[in-house]
Structure 1
Amino acid sequence: MKKKYVLIICAILIVSCGKKTTVVNNNEKSSISFVDPFIGTGGHGHTYPGATVPFGMLQVNPVNGVSAWDWCSGYHYSDSVAVGFSHLSLSGTGIGDLADIIFMPVNKEVDLTTNPQSRDSISYKSSYSHQNEKASPGYYQVFLEDHDINVELTTSKRTANHKYTFKKGDKNAVVIDLGFAINWDTPLETSLKVEDEYTVSGTRFSKGWANNQKVFFVAKFSKPIISYKLYADGLLTDRKTAKSTKTSTQLFFETDAKNELQVKVALSSVSIENAKGNLDSSEFNFENVKIAAENSWEKALSSFNVETKTDSLKTIFYTALYHTQLAPVTFSDKNGQFRLENDSIATAENYTAYSTLSLWDTFRAEHPLLTLIAPDKASDIINSMLAYYDTKKILPVWTLYGNETNTMTGYHSIPVIVDAYKKGIRGFDAEKAYEAMKNTMMQDERGLNHYKKYGYIPYNLIDESVTISLEYAFDDWCVAEMAKMLGKEDDYQFFFNRSKAYQHLFDKKSGFMRGKSEDGKSWNEPFDPKHSNHREQTDYTEGNAWQHSWFVPHAVDNLIENHGGNEVFTNRLEQLFTESSEITGDNVSADITGLIGQYAHGNEPSHHIAYMFNHAEQPWRTQFWARHIMDTQYNTTPNGLSGNEDCGQMSAWYVLSSMGLYPMNPASGEYEIGTPIFEKASMNLPNGKTFTIEAENVSDKNIYIQSATFNGKDFNKTAISHQDILKGGTLHFKMGAEPNKQWGLSKNMQK
């Protein structure tokens, strides 16, 4: 299997290397025409190619039926077998769940009495070829070779649309399997009901990464059901309903001259009645739904307009922008209701509730990007987090289908709230948000008891102590910032002082953040900065000391002082990128990917690091490494992402960095200046203003900023504020092949 996988990936790379860069007149093509949903479906990208709309409730996706890390979304480009089409998928995560409510069209009667132990024994599976598979924003198509059926999928915000075209004269049938599960997911109770000759409904309650996932669905067919077989745990029942751990059905339809069957499917976390309320009431018209989905994507992608002679750069950019708007996903029903993990039903009043909050990843660039292009969604997401807070009086860490997974470190709801408030977004209760932030950081779970007692987390008391301490320090700084904005001076001082926790862990001799014992003096020995041990008996989360020692985004200037000044700091920072890429240890984290030296772009803790040179009087190094990362870590193949997409973060890094901007401190209200990759890039802001970045003479060689103006006035700063961007205008750079080492230095900056 490994050999097969390697051969496939090699073939992909060979094809990609053989491709010529095409030059086109970009004005002739729509934004969605540049999007390739297959980017990231290979390698460790973990994205899916299925149909959805921006931040939609449903993700109608082909499922390969393999339980393995690289199939976290249900699909991997190396595969060529499908077991069906699900309605919920994760975009680019490192943990597998969902793939709920499987539909599979077939052209024969199949055996649903067995309990398949692997994909090989699934009776309704089919092979397919990438040559007969297409994906574009809002649309997916594949030809099932074993069943001679062409499958097309599209969706609105809350209703999925399937279109099956059968071979002339073939039996028309559809399998619905609620017992099917992959990866962490296990069904606990499912039910199916044939309501009438056009309608099937059901429930699927499961336990997995989301411990209490309850999905209710309804499906309407364009042709009457002429017969059906309904199974409960593999036993045929003669009733119209079945309820058991695993239920399934095969539905049979008339074979007619059109050879076509359409299906509309809607889900709810609350009830079948709510699913029916979510179901679009319009007549079956697959093409109209597809066009509406495409139009919604064209509108969503119109927030940016980039100009370049290199077509592949637009493909990477617009696909990245597409990926940034797949998650979070709509979770509340049309009537505003949604289920919380304690089974209470909340109602989103005057906002849309969202779930799939991959906050350890997305607080870094995804959420700052949303404050620019979708501030209404930013406030809705915060209102959603506050609703989840009500269940346990702790802000969410990683929310999946309304459930707290407690996956990853820190409480990064906090910087998302602070960033939005600092940028003027007011569509939420700021006092309640502050109460939630403060209460979260003052409770005792997830190592906070040790953090409060010692000022850091001793390595002998909890794993990943360094990463957790550094992230709590940043979260504390964010709480302090919110306290200051709300006039809470005592709280500001308290949390600001706690935000210095990183100072306890910095070893000036080695230049690394290291695990420290309870005595406050002795380090964790022996020490190897390249050593990785995945999630156990380690001081670092999914990485090593090289990758995690730079997470002090709120106090970079003080970190530089601790190192001994700009020269020592920049030498060590440069060494991060030029050191050998060897990772030591017997249980190396699979998340350490996209290595440039010891810098690991395939995992989020590295994402801000290249921009730290700006604070040490060497912005030209930020320009070099930011461009190098863009050039080497993204491409137009299925292997086009160097690590997990993680619900938009990997792509948000590219969207902003390719503009020449990045929120190194994602709660500062500022964006560091990097290096623009496009001749011209315009941001069409929700307030009607346009912010444009021009890069005169930019090319793959001319990557260094020579000089800059903002609205015609000299601009010699290495950061720009969110508020200045919102005012609109033009930031114009002159680019060159050699660095201008005087541009952007503090002595030359305008005050």
Structure 2
Amino acid sequence: MIMKNKYLIILSAILIVSCAKKTETRTSKNENVSSYVDPFIGTGGHGHTYPGATVPFGMLQVSPVNGISEWDWCSGYHYSDDVAIGFSHLSLSGTGIGDLADILFMPVNKAVDLSTNPISRDSIPYKSSYSHKNEKATPGYYQVFLENHNVNVELTTSKRTAYHKYTFKEGDTQSVVINLGFAINWDKSIETFLKVEDEHTISGYRYSTGWAKNQKVFFVAKFSKPIVNYKLSADGNTTDKDLVKGIKTSTQLFFDGAKNKELLAKVALSSVSVENAKDNLDAKEETFETTKSEAETLWNSALSQIVVETPTDSLKTIFYTALYHAQLAPVTFSDKNGQFRLENDSIVTAKNYTAYSTLSLWDTFRAEHPLLTLIAPDRVSDMVNSMLAFYDTKKILPVWTLYGNETNTMTGYHSIPVIVDAYQKGIRGFDAEKAYEAMKNTMMQDDRGLIYYKKYGFIPYSLLDESVTITLEYAYDDWCVAQMARALGKEADYQYFLNRSKAYQQLFDKKSGFMRGKSVDGKSWNAPFDPKHSNHREQTDYTEGNAWQHSWFVPQAVDDLIAIHGGNEIFTSRLEKLFTESSEITGDNVSADITGLIGQYAHGNEPSHHIAYMFNHANQPWRTQYWARHIMDTQYNTTPNGLSGNEDCGQMSAWYVLSSIGLYPMNPASGEYEIGSPIFEKSTIKLPENKTFMIEAEYVSHTNFYIQSATLNGKPFTKTTLSHQDILKGGTLHFVMGNKPNKNWGIKNKAQQLTKK
């Protein structure tokens, strides 16, 4: 009897565990993954993200504005703040330059004086305090209670329409201030216009200059209640007319609050015209609640493209928030009818594609765009077509496009690797010959130092600031052009650009082990030399960094970089020292972008992002595994300070998304991913044709981050790279993890190395 009971107990336990496992698996497949996202991550520190509402790659980003013009308020919002001056409809996610925050709405419960020009936030008459205790953000939704006005604000969006829901205190005045003259940081209005069209509708436009030099935003807003009174103001003058124009215009609208406490507004924008904004406005039957629900559905679909399994909820929060941030930009720019405005004021039509802007290419070419080829391949060709549309205006590919304007921010022409990466991975929804023409013409013109690069084979430091960084990045762009030339059968061009892509060899100082500024004579170095020295964007050889951080940017020829260092031993010794050197940065004008330091490695800025994966090429993959995991553990967390530097439109987060599943595109246009250290027990990538690619990490834990062995579809796998094409076939990459490095896994023997050479 005792034995029988014992067997029953064991059998029951097995059944309970089995059911629990089935439930866990079912839950992981059907869970609301958007619930793990915390949009406040990155809104503190130097993350520069916003917490407001948007949909994946949406046209609108309706978000709170604090009203301070400083670096950490580049998105309009910073978590350290507790004052709001309104809610704008365009926001930048994680950039280092502040712009947008256009078309500002603010619900208030009293009449305010709009005739004065506030000299600071303190003198804005409609500002309000708020508490983070009464603030909430989820994908596609934002809510905050304005204490001074006793108004609860809720925001959501569709692809091209923002929805506002204001709940006033019973009996209070119901009013909304709209300010078109307000600007943050570099932006300023140059002409604005407001018109009360009827008792429910107001429209207008805002022309401004700033980071985007020719920014034209048209809008229309429809309210759920009739406007019973209003005041219009332009440059300090108030009028009772129904329209007003000036440099700075604003209005206060009053509504009848007798029947209910809620006031709703729908707002749509356009870069083209008020008529297009009206066309972009959602149909009448759409409500706040249905739009909020649809936004959540859209986010769940976008976030479910990669499903991760782990018992640690904080890791899911970091991962899915990163996956969320990686799909905020680029943003939809073309209207419902396909039209959009270019910086020369020409209106063009996107035919059979959606045009995108906010192309932060110096950052996003590294990991975000490669990530999109996995999770949103249908959008990639549209983004390439958008770059080609911008190319048509100046016959040069874009550098950093904001609201249809070329800002020429940062170095290189990194639309090139994005295009080549797409083509190499089989994405064909664009004209390849036109794309190649655009790439070739861009790299053969003379602007932005290319005249010196072509003449000397590198850029001499005396002729252009940031010469080392620019030379290295042009060399990489050249390599990318060469790959496209070869793919299209242009052998002469292939050889020409491949030869030019070796420009990095000109700048390598074997004695010091660094890439250094070289003089016009091609022999002498820029001296004195301090590899820790930083001088932000002027009289420097490096962009937002120093020699320690920029000397490794040769992703197209890592094996050759190792060779010119003197071999694996010297290379890995110097690479290891990057992470273990003291974190002192010298100089009187140190770049604020040098953040997230591990030794001299700066994860808070993009030039460092590929470096940890270079150990793979020097026969020390266990060091890649160690440092990749160390970066994940130390540079990301679940607080508002959870990003170690500017998010930069998705790049900081894309690094984590890919690294955490064990992959990283060290050379973003190669079509290959380096193997790192997976952090999740299982990651499932959803692919076209209902295929999946699974990455399993058996025994993975906080201490078990070293790869012991691996199989791909059941066969032994010993390479440290995996091709995009292998992923697209579907299957399973299975790792066995341990707490000590297996120094035999992923090692190339001498015969393999000689064959590769």
Letter matched to residue 164 of structure 2: H
Choose which of 377, 394, 399 in structure 2 pairs with 1:397: 399
After superposition, where does 1:228-239 map in structure 2 within 5 Å?
Answer: 228-239=230-241
Cα distance in structure 2, aligned partners of 1:234 and 1:107: 22
Q: Secondary structure at the match of 1:647?
A: helix
Q: Following superposition, which runs of at least 4 residues in structure 1 exceed 4 angstroms of deviation?
A: 748-751
Q: Name the structure 2 match of 1:476.
A: 478
Q: Deviations over 1:260-298 (max 9, x none)?
A: 000000000000000000000123621111000000000
Find 1:496's aligned residue among 477, 495, 498: 498
Q: 1:9 aligns to what?
A: none
Provide Cα deviations, 1:603-645, integer angstroms capped at 9, x if missing partner. 0000000000000000000000000000000000000000000
Aligned to 1:103: 105
Residue type at the aligned position of 1:253: F
Give 1:376 deviation, angstroms: 1.4
Give, as a single letter, the amino acid of the residue that structure 1 aligns with 2:380: A
Choose from 439, 442, 445 the match for 1:443. Answer: 445
Paired with 1:373 and 1:676, the residues of 2 have a C-alpha distance of: 18
The 5 A counterparts of 1:106-117 are 106-117=108-119
Aligned pair partner of 1:317 in 313, 316, 319: 319
Matched, 1:572 2:584: no
Percent same amino acid among aligned pairs? Answer: 81
2-structure distance, mates of 1:543, 1:226: 57
Structure-2 separation of matches of 1:256 and 1:664: 62
C-alpha distance after superposition, 1:82-101 (max 9, x if no partner): 00000000000000000000
Distance in 2, Cα, partners of 1:438 & 1:406: 18
* Aligned-partner Cα distance in 1 for 2:31–2:55: 20
State the partner residue of 2:736.
734
520, 541, 547: which one pairs with 1:539? 541
* 1:517-536 pair list within 5 angstroms: 517-536=519-538
- The one of 326, 329, 332 equivalent to 2:328 is 326
User: For residue 542 of structure 2, what is the amino acid of its counterpart?
Assistant: Y
User: Residue in 1 aligned with 2:690?
Assistant: 688
In the TM superposition, what are the counterparts of 1:234-313 in structure 2 within 5 Å?
A: 234-283=236-285, 285-313=287-315
Report the Cα distance in structure 2 between the residues aligned to 1:260 and 1:310, rounded to whole angstroms: 40
Partner SS, residue 163 of structure 2: strand
Deviations 1:365-424 (A, max 9, x none): 000000111111110000000000000000000000000000000000000000000000
Residue by residue over 1:19-68, the C-alpha shift from the partner in whole angstroms, topping out at 9 and shown as x without a partner, is: xxxxx996374100000000000000000000000000000000000000
Aligned to 2:149: 147
Tell me which residue corresponds to 1:636: 638
Residue 350 (structure 2) pairs with residue 348 (structure 1): yes
Shift of 1:238: 2.0
Match of 2:681 in 1: 679
TM-score with structure 1 length normalisation?
A: 0.96
**Equivalent residue for 1:68?**
70
| 3-state DSSP of counterpart to 1:709 | strand
Residue 382 of structure 1, aligned match among 384, 392, 403: 384
In 1, Cα distance between equivalents of 2:630 and 2:544: 23
For the residues of structure 1 that align with 2:728 and 2:685, how far apart are their CA atoms? 10
Letter in 2 for 1:551: F
Match of 2:6 in 1: none
Secondary structure class of the residue paired with 2:617: helix
Distance 1:105 1:112 in 2: 14
Structure 2: which amino acid aligns with 1:595? Answer: L
Residue by residue over 1:91-128, the C-alpha shift from the partner in whole angstroms, topping out at 9 and shown as x without a partner, is 00000000000000000000100001110000110000
Cα pair 1:374 1:686 within 8 Å, conserved:
no
Using the TM superposition, give the Cα deviation of residue 747 of structure 1 relative to its aligned residue in structure 2, in angstroms: 2.1
**1:359 partner amino acid:** L
User: What CA distance in whole angstroms lies between the structure 2 residues aligned with 1:147 and 1:338?
Assistant: 38
Contact 1:106 1:147 in 2 (8 A): yes
What is the aligned counterpart of 1:661 among 651, 663, 667?
663
Residues 162-177 of structure 1: matches in 2 within 5 Å?
Answer: 162-177=164-179
Corresponding residue for 1:365? 367
Deviations 1:495-528 (A, max 9, x none): 0000000000000000000000000000000000
Residue 685 of structure 1 and its aligned partner are, at CA, apart by: 1.3
- Report 1:608-627 matches (<5 A): 608-627=610-629
Q: Contact 1:107–1:170 (CA<8 Å) still a contact in 2?
A: yes
Q: Following the alignment from structure 1 to structure 2, what is the Cα–Cα distance between the partners of residues 234 and 221?
A: 26
Cα separation, 1, equivalents of 2:309 and 2:259: 48
CA distance in 1, matches of 2:304, 2:614: 31
Q: CA deviation at 1:252?
A: 0.3
Q: Answer with 740-749 or 352-361: which moved more.
A: 740-749
Amino acid at match of 1:505: L
Which residue pairs with 2:91 in the alignment?
89
Match in the other structure for 1:418: 420
Which letter does structure 2 place at the counterpart of 1:388?
Answer: F
Distance 2:322 2:472 in 1: 29
> Offset at 1:687?
3.3
- Report the Cα distance in structure 2 between the residues aligned to 1:686 and 1:261, rounded to whole angstroms: 43
Question: What's the CA shift string for 1:724-748, capped at 9, x where partnerless?
Answer: 0000000000000000000001129
Q: Distance in 2 between matches of 1:349 and 1:407?
A: 28
Task: Encode CA deviations 1:413-458: one digit per residue, 9 max, x unaligned.
Answer: 0000000000000000000000000000000000000000000000
Which residue in 2 is equivalent to 1:650?
A: 652
Contact 1:534 1:589 in 2 (8 A): yes
- What does residue range 192-207 of structure 1 map to in structure 2 within 5 Å? 192-207=194-209
Task: Give distance in 1, aligned partners of 2:335 and 2:606.
Answer: 32
State the shift of 1:688 in Å. 1.9
Question: Matches of 1:216 and 1:245 in 2, distance apart?
Answer: 15
Note the alpha carbon deviations across 1:673-710, whole angstroms, 9 max, x for none.
00000000100113321000000000010000000000
2:33 paired residue among 5, 8, 31: 31
- Asked if 2 retains the 8 angstrom alpha-carbon contact of 1:671 and 1:722, the reply is yes
* Residue type of the alignment partner of 1:143: F
Alpha-carbon contact 1:175-1:248 (below 8 Å) kept: yes
**Could you tell me which residue of structure 2 aligns to residue 10 of structure 1?**
none
Give, in whole Å, the separation in 2 of the partners of 1:682 and 1:244. Answer: 54
**Cα RMSD after superposing both structures:** 1.1
Using the TM superposition, give the Cα deviation of residue 237 of structure 1 relative to its aligned residue in structure 2, in angstroms.
Answer: 1.1
Shift of 1:256: 2.4
Compute the TM-score of the two structures, normalised by the length of structure 2: 0.95
What displacement does 1:567 show? Answer: 0.2
Q: Encode CA deviations 1:560-596: one digit per residue, 9 max, x unaligned.
A: 0000000000000000000000000000000000000
- The answer to whether structure 1 residue 224 and structure 2 residue 226 are counterparts is yes
CA-CA distance at 1:257 after TM superposition: 3.5
Secondary structure at the counterpart of residue 189 of structure 1 = strand
Q: What's the CA shift for 1:222?
A: 0.3
Deviations 1:168-216 (A, max 9, x none): 0000000000011110110000000000000000000000000000000
2:127 aligned to 121, 125, 129, which one?
125
- Partner of 1:8 in structure 2? none
Q: Supply the distance in 2 between the matched residues of 1:92 and 1:608 (Cα, whole angstroms).
A: 20
- Listed as ranges, the gaps of 5+ residues in structure 1 are 1-23
Q: Distance in 1 between matches of 2:499 and 2:75?
A: 42
> Distance between the aligned counterparts of 2:660 and 2:182, measured in 1?
41
Report the counterpart of residue 607 of structure 1 in structure 2.
Answer: 609
Structure 2: distance between partners of 1:603 and 1:198: 47
SS across alignment from 2:649: coil
Contact 1:706–1:739 (8 Å) recurs in 2: yes
The number of equivalent residue pairs is 728
Corresponding residue of 1:47: 49
Distance 1:284 1:262, change over 3 A: farther
Query: What amino acid maps onto 1:655 in structure 2?
Result: V
Residue 718 of structure 1 corresponds to 720
Shift of 1:234: 1.7
CA distance in 2, matches of 1:101, 1:648: 24
> Deviations along 1:520-563, whole A, 9 cap, x unmatched?
00000000000000000000000000000000000000000000
Moved more, 549-558 or 257-266: 257-266
Q: What is the CA–CA distance in structure 2 between the aligned matches of 1:85 and 1:61, rounded to whole Å?
A: 5
Partner residue of 1:431 out of 430, 433, 439: 433
